[in-house]
């Protein structure tokens, strides 16, 4: 079977998983079965596997762990969804010849902080709060050029909040965006 014929099936499967996941989360039926993980090894493996799937893009990835041996107590499945959505957005909303993605991980008193930044299109100031709403997309800038239904960042925010964390966005048109979130740790 050709790879091209698998892409629509993968996209549909991914969309279906996001819709089911979001519906579950919206009903507040989250089961936060948390476990302690060593963040450096786990996050590096996860991010590299996501980048590996983006074969059609040239990606320059940098992961900076400001503190070694950082452990966090999280639900792995939900943490994976957070990271996958942020990295996938950094890739797909980037029309530069080389997509540069920087991930920074740091520890502060009582919490960990993770930032995902890119050199992509950037997000207009008037859209920055709206992009965390479900089914919201920035049509003016992304009309049909990127697949999706506008659930990713709404899901990310909800999962981070459920873990007791927060997310914020800094962005500049034409220069990229930085999503920074904290989790108890």
Give the span between the Cα atoms of 118 and 93, in whole angstroms: 9
Asked if 185 contacts 71 with a C-beta cutoff of 8 angstroms, the reply is yes
Sequence-ordered alpha helix ranges (H) in 27-168? 39-52, 76-92, 139-142, 152-162
Could you tell me the domains of the chain?
31-184 (3.30.565.10)
Task: Provide the 3-class DSSP secondary structure of residue 112.
Answer: strand
Residue 5 — pLDDT band, cuts 50, 70, 90? very low
Would you say residue 83 has pLDDT above 60?
yes
Give the span between the Cα atoms of 158 and 136, in whole angstroms: 15
pLDDT tens for 98-130 read 999 999 999 999 999 999 999 998 999 998 888
Asked if 18 contacts 151 with a C-beta cutoff of 8 angstroms, the reply is yes
Q: Has this prediction a pTM greater than 0.85?
A: no
**Range with the poorest average pLDDT among 12-16, 51-55, 133-137:** 12-16
Would you say residue 34 has pLDDT above 60?
yes
pLDDT tens for 129-151 read 888 888 767 665 554 555 566 78
Using alpha carbons, list the distances in angstroms from residue 98 to 61, 92, 95, 168.
10, 12, 8, 25
Give the span between the Cα atoms of 83 and 73, in whole angstroms: 15
End-to-end CA distance of the chain: 45
Whole-number average pLDDT of the chain: 82
Give the span between the Cα atoms of 43 and 58, in whole angstroms: 21
Cα-based angle 5, 89, 142 (whole degrees, multiple of 5): 85
């Amino acid at each position: 079977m050709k790879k091209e014929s698998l892409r629509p099936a993968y996209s549909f499967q991914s969309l279906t998983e996001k819709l089911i996941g979001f519906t579950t989360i919206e009903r507040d039926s989250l089961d936060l079965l948390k476990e302690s993980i060593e963040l450096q090894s786990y996050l590096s493996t996860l991010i590299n596997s996501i980048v590996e799937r983006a074969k059609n893009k040239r990606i320059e990835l940098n992961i900076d762990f400001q503190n070694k041996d950082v452990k966090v107590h999280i639900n792995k499945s939900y943490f994976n969804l957070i990271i996958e959505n942020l990295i996938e957005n950094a890739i797909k909303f980037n029309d530069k010849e080389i997509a540069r993605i920087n991930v920074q991980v740091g520890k502060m008193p009582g919490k960990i902080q993770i930032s995902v930044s890119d050199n992509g299109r950037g997000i207009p100031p008037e859209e920055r709060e709206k992009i965390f709403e479900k089914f919201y997309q920035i049509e003016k800038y992304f009309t049909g050029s990127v697949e999706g239904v506008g659930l990713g960042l709404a899901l990310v925010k909800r999962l981070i909040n459920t873990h007791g964390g927060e997310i914020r966005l800094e962005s500049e048109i034409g220069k990229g965006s930085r999503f920074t979130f904290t989790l108890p740790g």
